[in-house]
């Protein structure tokens, strides 16, 4: 009996134990159990219409790289039951990808944050959480040909990049580059963002470990261009970089960074059109290399003065440029026996274009420094003496010719002037002095003004002075011009002849008809030439253009002189407007004087060799009658009335006869 009770008790106890164990056991959660709630077929919504569970596309999940390797709970390790008491934590990829995590934490993306989160995380580059596919999948965001688009989702957004102090231009430039275009066409070899910047450990260009750090660029480019890299690293540029010389050029200095184009593209820095004048000149034209490393400067200037440079500038596509003689990636100093410009190799180098050359042909200075000013070889010395002799000869011969013709011209001009009688006063002494001051100050302003804008032209060479004195002379001439303008206003108001002058210069409707009739007459479409008063339409137009131009140039000139006050009082852009107006008005005024005024003074056949009125104030009566018929008739009528005693004793209508 006792035995039966003991067995029954043990059986009940074992049953209770098994029941308790079953009640507390944690069976493995299957993916099907998760998808029962998280698939699109079972998606439910709350009262606001928002999903109550995370949607998972089962087909994409199975296609993903994780779908065949892991179950849901392998990533969502905190999920212990089908009913979640608390929302599952965000999955950390570092559980499996520790190396990638460590590299990413050192990257620029991890250091730059937006709203407290990293600028770009795993999902931003690899795609949806449950849809991540391998890089070999053509649809993967990290597939080789999709990398530019993936990076462009952020780096192509203007507002986003500007908020981080960066630009979208690198992304845009890459799209137009030789790499970007090749990738767009499906090339699997063309470089994409990650080939140069890295995948997870993307570092800034100023970090020593960055793949795009200047000293590391050759190795980065060498991953695709191994042969070029090996050649370059043996060159003088590559050796300098290997020594840590950051001033030596690397691949991107010559080819560009994101905007790399084929050397056959005229917009490429390495094209024949741009190589000598722009690309090589950035280092070899200035004095920085000369001061720091003893490398001769002014290489481009001396090249451009040679036949090769002149022919290339004229559009020749076969004239030699820098790379034609020095090589491309294999550039070596002339002292190196392997250099293409070593004396022993010059025959072969020059012979590429000049067939049949011998060693004697190469025995000369190629880059003549100032026409051989410092070279002591026999060729340079001879050239220097030829230059000196011919400069002296040109000055003496041409100077004597000019003096000879000037003496004859003056004598004939004076004789012709004496024959032109009787004469009449066209400009008074007062008016001639105003004109002379205006003429002198205007010429000085033109030369000193354009010398600033065009420092490489004859305007600057004529002065032969520094910026300080140029600025002083320009401002003094400007003050004189404005002073002459102010004086002229008082002269018009206060002087009797000034009031007569402004009345005669006042525009009238007849002037417009005179302009049309004059053109018709000289085109042979009208038989009678219009008669003009004291000033014709052309002279009036020139006078009022002068008034307008002087006022405008004076105003903008003062604004530029007092640019700080103007910028603080109004706005800085007012100074920019004044600068533009001052420059273009100067061009307009200069061309108007040359084309319009100089024609009437020097080039008009009726006044050859020139109109002397600006010098002595007189002009022939016959010429005046021909040009100003109405005023001549008015003068004659006034004189007749005066002789008969019927005219007033006031001023005559026009200039007086002498």
- The 10s digit of each residue's pLDDT in 417-429 is 888 888 889 999 9
Residue 271 and residue 278 in contact, taking contact as beta carbons nearer than 8 Å: no
Token couple for 484: 């002459």
Residues 143 and 159 in one domain: yes
Residue 353 and residue 318 in contact, taking contact as beta carbons nearer than 8 Å: yes
Q: Does some domain include residue 596?
A: yes
CA distance 476 to 217: 54
Token couple for 220: 């980065």
Torsion angle in degrees (nearest 10) through CA of 363, 366, 369, 373: 20
Residues 635 and 508 in one domain: yes
Give pLDDT, residue 88. 81
DSSP tag of 442: H
CA distance 390 to 386: 6
DSSP tag of 529: P
Low-confidence ranges of the chain (pLDDT < 70): 1-27, 40-54, 114-117, 368-375, 462-465, 645-658
Angle at CA of residue 535, ends 533 and 537, nearest 5°: 100
CA distance 121 to 104: 9
Q: 467-494 vs 429-453: helix axis angle to the nearest 10?
A: 150
Residues 190 and 145 in one domain: yes
**Taking phi first (over 0 means left), then psi (-120 to 50 degrees means alpha), and beta for anything else, what does residue 488 get?**
alpha
Q: How far is CA 294 from the centre of its chain?
A: 31
CA distance 270 to 396: 46
CA distances (Å), origin 479, targets 441, 449, 554, 561: 9, 14, 8, 11
DSSP tag of 279: I
Residues 181 and 69 in one domain: no
CA distances (Å), origin 584, targets 236, 453, 476, 579: 47, 11, 21, 9
Q: Does some domain include residue 163?
A: yes
CA distance 273 to 309: 11
DSSP tag of 594: I
Residue 329 and residue 251 in contact, taking contact as beta carbons nearer than 8 Å: no
Q: Beta strands 423-425 and 117-118: pairing type?
A: unpaired
Burial, 221: exposed, middle or buried (Cβ in 10 Å; 0-12, 13-18, 19+)?
buried
CA distance 183 to 178: 9
Q: Does some domain include residue 136?
A: yes
Residues 66 and 117 in one domain: no
Q: Does some domain include residue 406?
A: no
Give pLDDT, residue 9. 63
Token couple for 271: 């094209």
**Taking phi first (over 0 means left), then psi (-120 to 50 degrees means alpha), and beta for anything else, what does residue 165 get?**
left
Residue 322 and residue 366 in contact, taking contact as beta carbons nearer than 8 Å: no
Q: Which residues pair with 408 in a beta bridge?
A: none
Token couple for 602: 């020097």
CA distance 552 to 482: 10
pTM for the full model?
Answer: 0.66
Residues 84 and 107 in one domain: no
CB atoms within 10 A of CB 264: 9
Q: How far is CA 133 from the centre of its chain?
A: 44
Residues 34 and 114 in one domain: no
Q: Does some domain include residue 133?
A: yes
Token couple for 456: 């490489």
Residues 81 and 169 in one domain: no
Residues 63 and 124 in one domain: no
CA distance 34 to 82: 7
Q: Which residues of 183-198 are buried (b: 16+ CB within 10 A; e: fewer)?
A: beeeeeebbbbbbbbb
Give pLDDT, residue 39. 74
Q: Does some domain include residue 302?
A: no
Residues 64 and 162 in one domain: no
Residue 109 and residue 202 in contact, taking contact as beta carbons nearer than 8 Å: yes
Give pLDDT, residue 311. 87
Q: Does some domain include residue 412?
A: no
Pick the closest to residue 41 from 30, 57, 28 (CA basis).
Answer: 57
How many domains does the chain fold into?
A: 3
- Continuous H helices in 106-242: 108-111, 122-126, 147-155, 158-163, 169-176, 178-184, 193-197, 217-222, 226-234, 236-242
Q: Does some domain include residue 502?
A: yes
Instruction: List the CATH number of the domain containing 565.
Output: 1.20.950.20
Of 202, 221, 255, which closes a domain?
202
Domain limits for position 555: 420-427+478-644
Give pLDDT, residue 31. 76
Of 202, 227, 254, which closes a domain?
202
Total residues belonging to the chain: 658
Token couple for 346: 């010059």
Of 151, 179, 202, which closes a domain?
202
Residues 119 and 80 in one domain: no
Residues 527 and 636 in one domain: yes
CA distance 423 to 420: 7
CA distances (Å), origin 425, targets 91, 431, 432, 543, 582: 102, 11, 11, 19, 36
């Amino acid at each position: 009996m006792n035995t039966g009770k003991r067995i029954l008790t043990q059986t009940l106890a074992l049953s209770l134990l098994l029941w308790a164990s079953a009640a507390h056991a944690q069976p493995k959660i299957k993916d099907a159990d998760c998808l029962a709630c998280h698939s699109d077929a079972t998606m439910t919504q709350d009262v606001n219409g928002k999903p109550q569970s995370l949607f998972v596309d089962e087909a994409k999940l199975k296609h993903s790289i994780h779908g065949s390797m892991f179950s849901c709970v392998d990533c969502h390790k905190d999920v212990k039951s089908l009913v979640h008491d608390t929302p599952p934590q965000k999955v950390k990829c570092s559980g499996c990808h520790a190396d990638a995590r460590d590299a990413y934490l050192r990257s620029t993306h991890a250091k730059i944050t937006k709203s407290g989160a990293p600028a770009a995380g795993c999902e931003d580059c690899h795609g949806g959480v449950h849809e991540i596919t391998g890089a070999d999948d053509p649809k993967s965001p990290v597939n080789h040909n999709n990398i530019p688009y993936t990076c462009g989702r952020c780096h192509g957004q203007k507002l986003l990049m500007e908020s981080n102090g960066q630009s979208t231009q690198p992304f845009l430039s890459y799209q137009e580059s030789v790499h970007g275009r090749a990738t767009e066409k499906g090339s699997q070899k063309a470089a994409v963002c990650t080939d140069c910047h890295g995948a997870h450990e993307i570092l800034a260009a100023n970090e020593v470990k960055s793949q795009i750090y200047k000293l590391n660029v050759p190795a980065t480019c060498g991953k695709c261009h191994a042969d070029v890299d090996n050649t370059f690293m043996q060159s003088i540029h590559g050796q300098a970089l290997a020594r840590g010389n950051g001033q030596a050029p690397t691949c991107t200095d010559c080819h560009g960074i994101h905007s790399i184009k084929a050397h056959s593209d005229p917009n490429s820095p390495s094209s024949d059109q741009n190589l000598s004048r722009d690309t090589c000149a950035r280092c070899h034209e200035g004095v920085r290399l000369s001061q720091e490393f003893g490398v001769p400067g002014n290489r481009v200037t001396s090249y451009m003065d040679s036949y090769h440079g002149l022919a290339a500038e004229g559009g020749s596509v076969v004239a030699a440029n820098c790379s034609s003689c020095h090589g491309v990636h294999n550039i070596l100093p002339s002292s190196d026996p392997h250099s293409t410009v070593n004396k022993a190799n010059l025959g072969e180098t020059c012979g590429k274009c000049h067939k049949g050359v011998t060693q004697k042909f190469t025995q000369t200075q190629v880059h003549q420094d100032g026409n051989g000013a410092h070279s002591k070889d026999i060729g340079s010395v001879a050239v220097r003496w030829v230059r000196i002799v011919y400069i002296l000869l040109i000055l003496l011969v041409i100077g004597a010719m000019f003096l000879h013709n000037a003496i004859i011209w003056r004598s004939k001009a004076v004789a012709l002037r004496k024959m032109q009688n009787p004469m009449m006063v066209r400009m008074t002494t007062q008016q001639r002095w105003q004109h002379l001051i205006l003429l002198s100050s205007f010429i000085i302003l033109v030369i000193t003004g354009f010398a600033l804008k065009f420092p490489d032209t004859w305007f600057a060479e004529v002065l032969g002075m520094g910026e300080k004195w140029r600025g002083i002379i320009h401002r003094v001439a400007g003050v004189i011009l404005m002073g002459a303008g102010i004086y002229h206003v008082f002269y018009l108001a206060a002087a009797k002849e000034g009031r007569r002058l402004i009345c005669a210069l006042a525009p009238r409707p007849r002037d417009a008809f005179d302009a049309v009739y004059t053109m018709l007459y000289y085109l042979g479409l009208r038989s009678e030439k219009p008669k003009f008063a004291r000033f014709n339409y052309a002279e009036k137009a020139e006078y009022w253009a002068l008034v307008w131009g002087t006022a405008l140039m004076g105003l903008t000139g003062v604004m530029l002189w007092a640019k700080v006050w103007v910028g603080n009082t109004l706005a800085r852009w007012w100074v920019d407007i004044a600068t533009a107006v001052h420059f273009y008005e100067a061009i307009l005024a200069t061309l108007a004087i040359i084309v319009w005024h100089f024609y009437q003074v020097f080039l008009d056949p009726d006044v050859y060799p020139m109109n002397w009125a600006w010098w002595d104030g007189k002009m022939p009566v016959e010429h005046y009658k021909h040009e100003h018929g109405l005023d001549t008739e008015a003068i004659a009528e006034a004189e007749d009335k005066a002789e008969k005693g019927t005219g007033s004793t006031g001023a005559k209508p026009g200039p007086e006869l002498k």
